[in-house]
Structure 1
């Protein structure tokens, strides 16, 4: 089964890509997402394992709510609120979060 992680921005993607040991598609929403764009995305994601990893802030919460409504089978991954942004969270923290979702991570980040 193909795995997909949805993040907000390119900096989030750059931050988690090197941590992952397996082939995972990372999609950036570039902040909030329009309903039509979300519908397109959902069609693409059918039959895939989808993980939502967004910032622990208002825009991240808003995006998460949208995905919970439109894509209820997606798994939501949470960073510690004290880091606020995925890009600002330390690699070891992100590696632990990804590992907790049974994603294969490089052990040197743990």
Structure 2
């Protein structure tokens, strides 16, 4: 029997697998995390938009050129998405301390494991 994942209606879009793993270890609620794997084609973007229709969408990408490019693309194609930002000194989501990411996620009302809020 297949186990159903509870749908929260929230989606976080990140760049890479390491970003996804980092966020998965911090969040406490079931949220779909989609990886773009860097740059994204129009076809892939349309595919993502179709799957996230009617959901709360958060964009959490690196503070670098490719992340900024991706963010611009999402601002154009998904204007209703909420953009979350890590501190520029960390540059990459995967390199940011878990407590910093937890604070960023919590500010967007995403439930995080309390151990990262110390």
Compare CA radii of gyration and give the structure with the larger one. Answer: 2
Per the TM alignment, residue 31 of structure 1 is displaced from its structure 2 partner at its CA by 0.2
TM-score, L = length of structure 2: 0.92
Q: 2:65 aligns with which of 55, 58, 62?
A: 58
| Residue 36 (structure 2) aligns with | 29
**Bigger proportion of residues as helix:** 1
Per the TM alignment, residue 36 of structure 1 is displaced from its structure 2 partner at its CA by 1.2
Task: Find out whether 1:16 has 2:28 as its counterpart.
Answer: no
> What is the RMSD computed on CA atoms of the aligned residues?
0.6
TM-score, L = length of structure 1: 0.98
Unaligned 5+ residue runs, structure 2?
Answer: 1-7
Q: Which runs of 4+ in 1 moved over 2 A?
A: none
Q: 1:2 aligns with which of 4, 9, 12?
A: 9
What secondary structure sits across from 2:33 in the alignment? Answer: strand
Count of residues in Structure 1 that have an aligned counterpart in Structure 2: 110
